């Protein structure tokens, strides 16, 4: 609870006036002993306990009435949703989720979760804090801090528009923690606006324990979570899984598209006709699909292509629905880049199964090459044309040239998979490092007890079949330390595979075991090894050639976003180049022609996962922290903060009424008939 007129609260000691008057009244009388009152005093002692209790209640109600009057004059603010206490803090940190799922709209008002949350935050903060606190904004898309003059700026700030990105809530909280500790912000309120998507919160990751411990050490810190977990109704999502250009008979060409159309989980839905608008190099056509189940996968849809068009772009659009952020998918095409990989290892038992898997032709129309180099020859890597590097050697020190080259390789979007060396040290890369190797007993070989099936290298197949990760047996494994996204873990929460959580290293993985027979059954079983290697190779290949596909993000068009030109003429003209990199679209670097480089930006695959965290799960993540949970909906127009002076007015009236009832004199009892007779 806070107050619009906090200065009036200095009058609260006046509530003790009834007590002071009562004490003064007691000392005004002078006691005179009189023998005739002996029997009256004896009778008075019999009722003294009840009389004193009555007097104390009357006194307490008078004090309560005065206190309620003073608090009412201070114009208190509170509400079942807000629950602020302690007045205005020194600093208010606003952490805003700008992921694609936050664009879910109320079709009646046209307002999204993001816009509704920003408006409610602006009203609540303005009413509760006014201009008495410093406002600092951190948004999920850029993870940069920005000072605000007032809360009203939240409603119209261009840098808070919708995006096609995902949110990393632990990274968002880490940015806030760094700001608090660096700037010594004093008493701080931290507001987090989110839709509680599980993929954004990474509740199973290893970063939450560290964050809780760091926040617990700070004094005067309060968390307010404003959530919009309401699921989308009647929403369709579109994704392009694959784009392939191939020559056909007669000297012509065609473009083959793999499309995926989904709708939310729920009761069985009736078949739905969905018209798709397909734009290819500026020319539009319509494709009608019939969605009967929750998902429709259309593979190999053919679009005729001019044989002279070696590169180009396109996009597919859905009709408007609840969430416009997942209604568009962009694509580019060009000459396919060779799927080239390099293995850095001196162990033939490790190199042999890895090379065999990486050179297997998953796509007959593409070229697969793999080279094995010992660690001392790692400088010979063809960095610009290598999609995947498998590193089975000691991690280079941060001061080494190889470390800088590997960093540049991953920053460009190419893939890097680390395997544990025989004698690992604790040198980190992209926030991850190795721990001490563990050799298991042959009679108790551990197996993975959990792995991520919704996305990344161990995800289920397109048919929905899970990879047999749980069937793997490990004779030797090396646990992974650091901040990252856990993809598989052993019993007792030991990470077996992790992906870096750093934005400039999107395709960096650590796998805590080797394929050789002395370490695991990875090579013997083969399916899991083949799937994860080819998925890593495919992820790295998207950063090669002149046609690339990337997830939308602040670094998607690095290092100079302004050098890129939007291919679509109806792209939002008012956005800065950096903000355009956060939306779905196609961008060209260079003049149109065969030498131009094309990049298609789309929302991350994780944004199609609609599962949300429960309130119990959120409370567990913030266990031990001063946290207030506020659940709102986009249909609710109530303010988060409201004046509650009427409550104190009712409290004062109730106290005065009870005080008046207690002050009423007791009813006189009629004298018994025997007494009248005796008197006569």
Confirm whether 181 is domain-assigned: yes
Share of the chain above pLDDT 70, in %: 89
Q: Are residues 396 and 325 in the same domain?
A: no
- 555-584 residue pLDDT tens: 888 788 889 988 876 666 677 888 889 999
Query: CATH no. for residue 124?
Result: 3.40.50.410
Of the pLDDT bands very low, low, confident and very high (cuts 50, 70, 90), residue 82 is very low
Cβ neighbours, 10 Å, residue 143: 18
Claim: this prediction has a pTM higher than 0.85: no
Share of the chain above pLDDT 90, in %: 47
Q: Which residues contact 184 (CB under 8 A, 6 or more apart)?
A: none
Q: Are residues 319 and 391 in the same domain?
A: no
Domain closes at, from 541, 568, 597 = 541
The end-to-end CA distance of the chain, in Å, is 69
Q: Domain count of the chain?
A: 4
Q: Which of 240, 229, 293 is nearest to 263 (CA)?
A: 293
| Cα dist from 80 to 35, 585, 631, 665, whole Å | 63, 42, 10, 41
Confirm whether 302 is domain-assigned: yes
Query: CATH no. for residue 343?
Result: 3.40.50.880
Res 680: pLDDT? 46
Cross-strand partners of 341: 370, 388
Confirm whether 84 is domain-assigned: no
Confirm whether 574 is domain-assigned: yes
Q: Are residues 284 and 194 in the same domain?
A: no
- Please state which of the ranges 48-52, 169-173, 281-285 shows the lowest mean pLDDT: 48-52
Q: Are residues 126 and 70 in the same domain?
A: no
d(CA 354, CA 543): 22
What average pLDDT does this structure show over 500-518? Answer: 90
What average pLDDT does this structure show over 135-163? Answer: 91
Domain assignment of residue 276, given as a range: 237-257+265-290+297-335+546-608
Q: Are residues 533 and 550 in the same domain?
A: no
Q: Which residues of 402-418 are buried (b: 16+ CB within 10 A; e: fewer)?
A: beeebbebbbbbbbbbb
Confirm whether 64 is domain-assigned: yes
Q: Are residues 571 and 595 in the same domain?
A: yes
Contact 598, 311 (CB under 8 A): yes
Torsional sign, CA 588, 591, 593, 596: negative
From the number of C-beta atoms within 10 Å of its C-beta (0-12, 13-18, 19+), residue 231 rates as: middle
For 207-263, give the secondary structure using H, E and C. CHHHHHHHHHCCCCEEEEEEECCCCCCCCCEEEEEEEEEEECHHHCEEEEEEEEEEC
Q: Are residues 330 and 365 in the same domain?
A: no
Q: Are residues 448 and 556 in the same domain?
A: no
Confirm whether 515 is domain-assigned: yes
Q: Are residues 604 and 621 in the same domain?
A: no
Tally the residues of the chain. Answer: 680
DSSP string for residues in 398-445 = TTSHHHHHHHHHHHTT-EEEE---SS-----BTTEEE---EE--TTS-
Token pair, residue 368, equals 């697969």
| Cα dist from 165 to 97, 372, 423, 498, 672, whole Å | 10, 36, 39, 21, 90
Q: Which residues contact 141 (CB under 8 A, 6 or more apart)?
A: 98, 163, 165, 553, 554, 582
- 465-492 residue pLDDT tens: 899 999 999 999 999 998 888 999 999 8
d(CA 217, CA 384): 46
Q: Are residues 373 and 449 in the same domain?
A: yes
Q: Which residues contact 505 (CB under 8 A, 6 or more apart)?
A: 407, 410, 411, 416, 430, 431
Confirm whether 311 is domain-assigned: yes
Res 642 pLDDT > 60: no
Q: Are residues 56 and 190 in the same domain?
A: no
Confirm whether 499 is domain-assigned: yes
Domain closes at, from 541, 558, 575 = 541
d(CA 577, CA 395): 36
Contact 70, 8 (CB under 8 A): yes
- 237-270 residue pLDDT tens: 999 988 888 888 777 888 999 999 998 877 777 8
Token pair, residue 568, equals 């679509």
Three-state DSSP class for residue 528: helix
Res 613 pLDDT > 90: yes
What average pLDDT does this structure show over 22-46? Answer: 64
Three-state DSSP class for residue 328: strand
Q: Are residues 374 and 500 in the same domain?
A: yes
């Amino acid at each position: 609870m806070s107050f619009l007129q906090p200065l009036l609260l200095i009058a609260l000691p006046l509530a003790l006036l009834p007590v002071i008057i009562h004490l003064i009244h007691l000392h005004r009388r002078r006691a005179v002993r009189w023998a005739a009152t002996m029997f009256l005093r004896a009778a008075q002692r019999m009722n003294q306990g009840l009389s004193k209790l009555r007097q104390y209640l009357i006194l307490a109600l008078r004090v309560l009435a005065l206190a309620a009057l003073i608090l009412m004059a201070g114009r208190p603010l509170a509400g079942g949703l807000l629950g602020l206490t302690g007045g205005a803090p020194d600093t208010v940190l606003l952490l805003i989720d700008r992921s694609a799922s936050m664009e879910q709209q109320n079709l009646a008002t046209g307002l999204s979760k993001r816009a509704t949350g920003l408006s409610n935050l602006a009203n609540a903060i303005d009413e509760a804090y006014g201009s008495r606190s410093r406002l600092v904004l951190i948004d999920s898309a850029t993870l940069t801090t920005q000072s605000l003059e007032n809360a009203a700026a939240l409603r119209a700030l261009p840098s808070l528009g919708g995006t096609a990105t995902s949110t990393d809530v632990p990274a968002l909280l880490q940015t806030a923690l760094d700001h608090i500790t660096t700037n010594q912000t004093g008493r701080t309120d931290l507001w987090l606006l989110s839709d509680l998507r599980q993929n954004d919160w990474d509740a199973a990751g290893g970063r939450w324990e560290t964050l809780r411990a760091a926040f617990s050490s700070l004094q005067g810190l309060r968390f307010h979570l404003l959530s919009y977990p309401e699921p989308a109704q009647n929403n369709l999502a579109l994704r392009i899984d694959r784009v392939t250009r191939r020559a056909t008979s007669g000297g012509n060409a065609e473009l083959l598209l793999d499309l995926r159309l989904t709708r939310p989980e729920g009761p069985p839905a009736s078949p739905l006709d969905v018209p798709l608008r397909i734009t290819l190099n500026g020319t539009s056509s319509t494709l009608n699909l019939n969605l009967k189940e929750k998902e429709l996968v259309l593979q190999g849809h053919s679009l005729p292509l001019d044989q002279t068009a070696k590169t180009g772009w396109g996009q597919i659009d859905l009709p408007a629905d609840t969430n416009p952020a997942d209604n568009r998918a962009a694509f580019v095409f060009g000459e396919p880049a060779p799927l080239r990989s390099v293995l850095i290892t001196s162990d033939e038992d490790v190199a042999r199964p890895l090379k065999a898997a990486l050179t297997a032709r998953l796509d007959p129309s593409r070229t697969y090459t793999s080279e094995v180099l010992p660690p001392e020859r790692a400088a010979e890597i063809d960095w610009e044309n290598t999609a995947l590097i498998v590193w089975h050697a000691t991690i280079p020190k941060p001061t080494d040239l190889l470390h800088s080259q590997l960093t540049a390789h991953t920053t460009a979007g190419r893939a890097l998979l680390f395997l544990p060396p025989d004698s690992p040290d604790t040198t980190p890369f992209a926030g991850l490092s190795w721990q001490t190797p563990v050799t298991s007993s042959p009679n108790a070989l551990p197996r993975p007890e959990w792995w991520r099936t919704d996305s990344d290298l161990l995800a289920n197949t397109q048919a929905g079949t899970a990879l047999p990760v749980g069937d793997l047996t490990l004779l030797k494994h090396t646990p992974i330390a650091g901040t990252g996204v856990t993809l598989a873990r052993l019993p007792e929460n030991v990470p077996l595979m992790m992906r870096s959580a750093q934005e400039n290293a999107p395709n960096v993985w650590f796998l805590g075991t080797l394929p050789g027979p002395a370490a695991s059954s990875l090579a013997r079983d083969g399916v899991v090894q083949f799937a994860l290697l080819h998925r890593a190779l495919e992820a790295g290949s998207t950063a090669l050639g002149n046609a690339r596909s990337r997830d939308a993000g602040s670094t998607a068009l690095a290092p100079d976003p302004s050098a890129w030109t939007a291919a679509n003429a109806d792209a939002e003209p008012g956005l800065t180049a950096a903000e355009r990199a956060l939306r779905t679209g196609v961008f060209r670097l260079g003049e149109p022609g065969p030498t131009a480089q094309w990049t298609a930006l789309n929302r991350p695959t994780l944004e199609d996962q609609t599962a949300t965290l429960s309130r119990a799960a959120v409370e567990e993540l913030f266990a031990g922290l001063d946290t207030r949970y506020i659940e709102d909906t986009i249909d609710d127009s109530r303010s988060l903060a409201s004046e509650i002076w009427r409550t104190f007015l009712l409290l004062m009236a109730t106290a005065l009424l009870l005080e008046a009832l207690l002050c009423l004199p007791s009813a006189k009892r009629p004298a018994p008939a025997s007494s009248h007779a005796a008197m006569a």
